[in-house]
Amino acid sequence: MGLFDWLKQGSDPEIQAAKEASARRQADIQQSLRSGHVPADIATRLEGARSGQQPWIATLTPAELLVARSHGLKPIAAISATCWLHYGWSWTQGHAQGWHAALQRLRAEARACGANAVVDVKMRSIAVQIENSMDFTLVGTAVKLDGLPPSDEPIVATVPALEFVKLLDADIVPCGIAIGAHYEWMTDWRNNANMTWMGNIESRQLSQLWETVRKQAHLHLRQNAGDQGNGVLAHVNFSQMFEREVEKQPKQYLARHIVVATVVDVPVAYGSRRYRALNDGELHSKPLAQEFKMVVDIHAGRTPLTGTTRHHQAYYSNDEDGAI
Amino acid sequence: MSSQIPAHAQERLKGLRSSAHSTGVFTSDFSVNEFLLVRKAGFEPIGLCVGTCVYHVGIQYGSWKKNEELQVLSKAMYHARELAMSRMRAEAQAMNADGIVGVKLTIKRLEWDENLLEFIAIGTGVVHGDGHKGFRAHDGGPFTSDLSGQDFWSLLHSGYRPVEMVMGSCVYHVAHRGMFAAMGSAGQNVELENFTSAMYEAREIAIERMQHEASAAKAEGVVGVDIHEGSHGWQTHVIEFFAIGTAVLPLDQEIAPDKIADPIMVLSVND
């Protein structure tokens, strides 16, 4: 575009109209998110997908479509949610806050398209560094199960569709994301953590600090998970410790720990006292329904059948120079 | 240029295997497993199809304090990809392929000029072994798909066929925050609503564009969708949202649904 075109751009009625439409769209997005609703344009798209007027959109792989067929799982739409948070008070706590907000918004989009569940939910963050802030983004595929009416509280599963039905077959429902996050500062008044001249000895202050921080983080994780299901598969354990030195002041240490987990709902543990009480003291063990067989995996390299690690990429970015 | 294939490319295409030229050589970038599965699905590879486009991306600045789509950049990214893809498809058409499997679409920045981007589309042209034409895209040309050979086989066995690789792009400028706004929220955790809404708008534009392409290709759905963000050497506040996937249609006759085997669930022991 030449300079002349560029200068002219402001007065072009088409561009002007596009700018106004964009301004309206953004005002609506902000207003809707504040009140916990799905923004109008997105709601229209989701309605189109729900009624079948628009093509469905799925992040599922072709092999997963096959499972979808065998288990009556129908993809509806690719949905997403974002909360861009500025952490002026606490980076650590911000992670719990940010993911929680994004999760609520994702559930709202899932409701808007009449889904029973959202599968293949990936946690993401853009690699743009802007003033102590980070975006918490969730992307997944809203699905419905044949014969079920739309759910009021669609479940959010961080596992891909294949693993989702694998868990369902075993009577386990992956139903949400739980976060446990805690940080603490410790001031080393007596300089005990400085052990330069000592031999083999535990640094008790620092051990203690870690112990406290991790226990608190796991406590939050349990509380957060308890509202959604009765167990977690904790895929991300992230911790950091820093030393801060200020002149003429005792050293300070900061420790932080963040746990991110897939929440599952498991029928009351087999063999637990509660379960035995329910079953006249008789212990029913219920193994997986599938038979076990040796198979040759046809996938070269990465396969959708193994591992969930790449689906939890919140702590790296998916942005690589050279990718599409 | 997109419809005219250079003479040396035509020479290369003539040397490929076809019904008229059974002693020709086929070329493909398939792995062993991919090769076997594409054949198992009833297709034969005939030749690599390539499309390239070196594009000079125009300049556009977002206004400092505003969230907005950078239309010039959006159009450039879209147009250049389209050119590379259509050139690749023209090659496939010239070799009379029914479709292109395993399309890899990549972007490279050229070192000497930050505004020059190189777009490359490459994939393997395939034909149906029994000569079914039912796999062609809605316009009678070859289908395109970024699915690997394995995924191609899986897709056919899930009762679907690929129609077209669809995509949507939106290059977006995320507004800068004023200094007073930054000071106001110094000691607290607050949502930056402006940034959140920028993400929402940009992503929505990209998805809608992709969905529009899928509708135009008369597809039933889009599989293997990836929505991702990237920056191709622009300023820090400029992000490209890119949605890509393969539009699919149910198979009508080629593989009857009752022939489709139930999948076997696998619990992997080498997770």
> pLDDT digits over A19-32, tens only?
888 889 999 999 99
pTM: 0.79
CA–CA separation, B42 vs A150, rounded Å?
39
Contact A119, A143 (CB under 8 A): yes
Confidence check: pLDDT of A36 > 50: yes
Q: Chain B: residue nearest A19 by CA?
A: B68
With tokens 């969730």, the residue in question is A138
Contact A251, A191 (CB under 8 A): yes
> Picking from A93-102, A105-114, A152-161, B56-65, which range would have the lowest pLDDT averaged per residue?
B56-65
Question: Which residues does chain A have within 8 Å of residue B147's beta carbon, measured at their own beta carbons?
Answer: 62
**Chain A interface includes B2 (CB < 8 A):** no
Higher-pLDDT residue of B195, A191: B195
Question: Which residues does chain A have within 8 Å of residue B200's beta carbon, measured at their own beta carbons?
Answer: 29, 33, 39, 42, 82
- Give the nearest partner residue to A39 out of B155, B200, B265, using CB atoms: B200
β partners of residue B246: B165, B223
How far off is chain A from B183, nearest CA to CA, in Å? 10
Q: Chain B: residue nearest A136 by CA?
A: B196
User: Which pLDDT value is given to residue B268?
Assistant: 65
> Does residue A145 lie in a domain region?
no
Question: Which one-letter amino acid corresponds to residue B97?
Answer: A
User: Which pLDDT value is given to residue B50?
Assistant: 93
- Give the domain CATH number at A246: 3.30.110
Tens of pLDDT along B4-27?
A: 777 777 776 666 666 556 667 888
Question: Given an 8 Å threshold on Cβ–Cβ distance, is B192 in contact with A85?
Answer: yes
With tokens 């809707």, the residue in question is A32
Q: Which domain holds residue A224?
A: 178-193+202-266
Contact B74, B60 (CB under 8 A): no
Collapsed DSSP state (helix, strand, coil) of residue B169: strand
Tens of pLDDT along B214-260?
A: 999 999 999 999 888 877 767 778 888 889 999 999 887 555 445 55
CA–CA separation, B208 vs B219, rounded Å?
15
CA–CA separation, B123 vs B163, rounded Å?
15
Question: Where are the domains positioned within chain B?
Answer: 7-251
How far off is chain A from B138, nearest CA to CA, in Å? 15
User: Which pLDDT value is given to residue A311?
Assistant: 40
A120 contact partners, CB below 8 Å, separation of at least 6: A59, A60, A140, A141, A157, A159, A160, A161, A164, A311
Question: Given an 8 Å threshold on Cβ–Cβ distance, is A56 in contact with B187?
Answer: no
Collapsed DSSP state (helix, strand, coil) of residue B90: helix
Contact B230, A68 (CB under 8 A): no
Quote the distance between the C-alpha of residue B222 and its chain's center: 12
User: Which pLDDT value is given to residue B37?
Assistant: 84
Residue A144 in tokens: 């419905």
Neighbours of A274 (CB within 10 A): 10
Nearest to B135 by CA among B47, B44, B211: B44
Question: Which residues does chain A have within 8 Å of residue B198's beta carbon, measured at their own beta carbons?
Answer: 26
CA–CA separation, A13 vs A209, rounded Å?
62
Average pLDDT, rounded, for chain A: 79
Tens of pLDDT along B57-96?
A: 887 776 777 888 888 888 888 899 999 999 999 999 988 8
Backbone angles phi, psi at A31, to 5 degrees: -60, -45
User: Which pLDDT value is given to residue B16?
Assistant: 67
Q: Chain A: residue nearest B57 by CA?
A: A1
Residue A300 in tokens: 């070269």
Residue by residue, what is the 3-state secondary structure of chain A?
Answer: CCHHHHHHHHHCHHHHHHHHHHHHHHHHHHHHHHCCCCCHHHHHHHHHHHHCCCCEECCCCHHHHHHHHHHCEEEEEEEEEEEEEEECCCHHHHHHHHHHHHHHHHHHHHHHCCCCEEEEEEEECCCCCECCEEEEEEEEEEEEECCCCCCCCCEECCCCHHHHHHHHHCCCEEEEEEEEEEEEEEECCCCCCCCCCCCCCCCHHHHHHHHHHHHHHHHHHHHHHHCCCCEEEEEEEEEEEEEECCCCCCCEEEEEEEEEEEEEECCCCCCCHHHHHHCCCCCCCCCCCCCCCCCCCCCCCCCCCCCCHHHECCCCCCCCCCCC
B35 contact partners, CB below 8 Å, separation of at least 6: B28, B45, B149
Collapsed DSSP state (helix, strand, coil) of residue B13: helix
CA–CA separation, A36 vs B202, rounded Å?
20
Nearest to B238 by CA among B59, B79, B82, B107: B59
How many CB pairs (< 8 A) connect A and B?
231
Question: Which residues does chain B have within 8 Å of residue A63's beta carbon, measured at their own beta carbons?
Answer: 150-151, 154, 158, 263
CA–CA separation, A71 vs A145, rounded Å?
8
**Chain A interface includes B185 (CB < 8 A):** yes
User: Which whole number is the average pLDDT over A265-281?
Assistant: 55
Rounded alpha-carbon distances, angstroms, from residue A113 to A79, B164, B226, B254: 9, 25, 19, 32
Q: Chain A: residue nearest B152 by CA?
A: A62
CA–CA separation, B251 vs A306, rounded Å?
29
Question: Given an 8 Å threshold on Cβ–Cβ distance, is B197 in contact with A33?
Answer: yes
Quote the distance between the C-alpha of residue B143 and its chain's center: 12
How far off is chain B from A194, nearest CA to CA, in Å? 31
Structural domain count, chain A: 1
Confidence check: pLDDT of B262 > 90: no
ipTM: 0.77
- Give the nearest partner residue to A93 out of B107, B189, B193, using CB atoms: B189
> Does residue A238 lie in a domain region?
yes
Sheet holding A117-124, edge to edge: A155-156, A117-124, A133-145, A73-87, B189-191
How far off is chain B from A198, nearest CA to CA, in Å? 40
What percent of chain A clears pLDDT 70, i.e. is strictly above it? 78
Higher-pLDDT residue of B211, B59: B211
Question: Given an 8 Å threshold on Cβ–Cβ distance, is A58 in contact with B32?
Answer: no
> Picking from A125-134, A253-262, B127-136, B179-188, which range would have the lowest pLDDT averaged per residue?
B179-188
> Does residue A216 lie in a domain region?
yes
Residue A228 in tokens: 């959604």
Question: Which one-letter amino acid corresponds to residue B257?
Answer: P
Q: What confidence category does residue A298 fall into, taking pLDDT thresholds of 50, 70 and 90?
A: low
Superfamily of domain B7-251: Hypothetical protein apc22750. Chain B (3.30.110.70)
Exposed/middle/buried for residue A275 (C-beta within 10 Å: 0-12, 13-18, 19+): middle
